[in-house]
Structure 1
Amino acid sequence: MTPDVTANLRKNPWFSSLPTHLQDAIMAHSKLRQLNAQAVLHTKEQAPNGLFFVHSGKVRISNFTPEGKEVVLTWLTSGDWFGEISSFDNLPRTHCATVDEAATILTIPHSAFAQLCDKHPEMYRYFIPIFCQRMRALFEIIDEARTLPIKLQLVKRLLHLHNTFDGENGGLDVSQESLALMLNTTRQSVNRWLNELQTEGLIQLAYNKVMLEPQILQEYLHNQLNPKCH
């Protein structure tokens, strides 16, 4: 374990909430991996192979349609944990996890994680907040897909990505193709809605970059979702 990885773990909100003996146990059972872009951490239906922590880089969580089209659920960045569902229920993976940008990943192998939980059964309760967070995010995505037009779904995803990637100076590095994959629509549709948002003065577009002020988009979203309030 390198000092920078240890420091990143210590400042992680979830990890820092653990008692010291559980922090030490997790680090003792972890392995550090340096992975290039497009490296596959796991595929859908694969047997559980570990719990993961993103130290640096970006990981894409996705599935594929029967026609082979990739549908992106989300991207994970530094500080994110994932892989806990299969680690607990011992069932196959629900999604694919692929490195989007060269990444340093901390891995707790599945067998080591099982031994860790057997030795420290109090570990289970510390994962409840993670599961609750996942469920809330899932319900929100389902509600959006069923109730919101694509344009407003796009606005919400832009805000989510801005918060996830901590966009500097309001800038968000993301391609229209990536946004289309995330919303399960076409790049042409995303292009149309982005240009409409730009015409309305809500964002500015550059090559593979969206310049935005989150407060402006938040206000726009609020007004669209609450038309009687303005």
Structure 2
Amino acid sequence: MPPWLDSPAERLQVLGASPWFAHLPPQLSQWIAENVRPHELAAGARLFVRGDAPDGMHFVVSGAVRVGSLAQDGRESLLMVARAPQWFGEAGLFDGAPRAHDAWAAHESRLLHLPQAETLAFLGRYPQHWKSFGRLLAHSLRLALGALEGHALLSPARRLAQRLVAMAYGYAAWRGPYQRLISVQQDDLGTMLSMSRQTINQLLKEFEAQGYLRTARGAIEVTDMARFREFAQR
């Protein structure tokens, strides 16, 4: 085990940054803290690939994990970039189906891994906790459906605003703490939203002129979340 987060108490504190985890029943949150395993990924390292057997859920402690698809010719389809304090990979817990996407480290990253077999055994003993995992899956489904609806109905500006707000809140509900500084490349935003880099750049300039945010190399700082969130929800 890596020499970091090697005690359940330390892991419990770090995991508490996740809105989903923070509202779990004490029995479940304590069990997760005792059973997650620290894992390090070098930049570019694969976490899993399409077709792999599901091995459990992952929590981002630091760094970033890109989730999407990599073609043999190098083309990339990017669904999301998972960052702290985000969970991902929970779908296989329910259906046992192979991984539907690839996941690889955008740069050096630290994760906590909740193994599949141990989790299923725990839920076999305490089936009342399936509901908590169901909430996490339902939230992911709502995000996916919202993205599909936005692609069909929303303007590019609204779609970009909604994605940035979602990233600032760690893809959780739009309330409570959020990250003012979002580490993301404009090319990645374009890939996730099916927009050109030029379109992303122009929209960010418009948002900056409105006072919603400031841009920097490889990062975006939200300077007025209340107004930016209001714009994204119109």
TM over 0.5: yes
CA contact (8 A) 1:52 1:108 kept: yes
Larger CA deviation: 18-27 vs 152-161: 18-27
Query: How big is each residue's C-alpha offset from its partner over 1:90-126, in whole Å with a ceiling of 9 and x where there is no partner?
Result: 1011222222242221212222222222232222122
Give 1:199 shift.
4.9
Cα offset, 1:64, TM superposition:
4.4
Task: Provide the TM-score with structure 1 as the length reference.
Answer: 0.80
In structure 2, the CA distance between the partners of 1:152 and 1:69, relative to structure 1 (3 Å rule), is farther
User: Quick one: structure 1 residues 92 and 210, their matched pair in 2 at CA, closer, same or farther if it must change by over 3 Å?
Assistant: same
User: Is this contact kept in 2: 1:64–1:70, CA < 8 A?
Assistant: yes
- 2:48 match: 42
Offset from partner CA, 1:18-67 (integer Å, 9 cap, x none)? 44443343344332112222222212222112222223332222234697
- How big is each residue's C-alpha offset from its partner over 1:171-194, in whole Å with a ceiling of 9 and x where there is no partner? 433221121122122222222333
Number of residues of Structure 1 aligned to a counterpart in Structure 2 = 221
Instruction: Note if contact 1:59-1:75 (Cα within 8 Å) is conserved in structure 2.
Output: yes
Distance 1:175 1:79, change over 3 A: closer
Q: 2:202 aligns with which of 187, 192, 201?
A: 192
* Amino acid across the alignment from 1:205: T
Matched AA of 1:186: S
Task: Give TM-score, length-normalised by structure 2.
Answer: 0.79
Looking at secondary structure, tell me which structure has more helix per residue. Answer: 1
What does residue range 15-94 of structure 1 map to in structure 2 within 5 Å?
Answer: 15-64=21-70, 68-94=74-100
Tell which structure's C-alpha radius of gyration is larger: 1
1:5–1:55 CA contact under 8 A, matched in 2: no
* Aligned-partner SS, 1:47: coil
In percent, how many aligned pairs have the same letter? 25
Aligned to 1:179: 189
**What corresponds to 2:3 in structure 1?**
none
1:119 aligns with 2:125: yes
Judged with a 3 Å threshold, the aligned counterparts in structure 2 of structure 1 residues 210 and 7 are, in CA distance, closer, same or farther, namely closer
CA change 1:103–1:152 in 2 (3 A) is: same
Q: Secondary structure at the match of 1:161?
A: helix
1:205 correspondence with 2:211: no
Q: Gapped runs of 5+ residues in structure 1?
A: 226-230
- The whole-number CA distance in structure 1 between the counterparts of 2:27 and 2:161 is 42
> In the aligned structure 1, how far is the partner of 2:209 from the partner of 2:85?
36
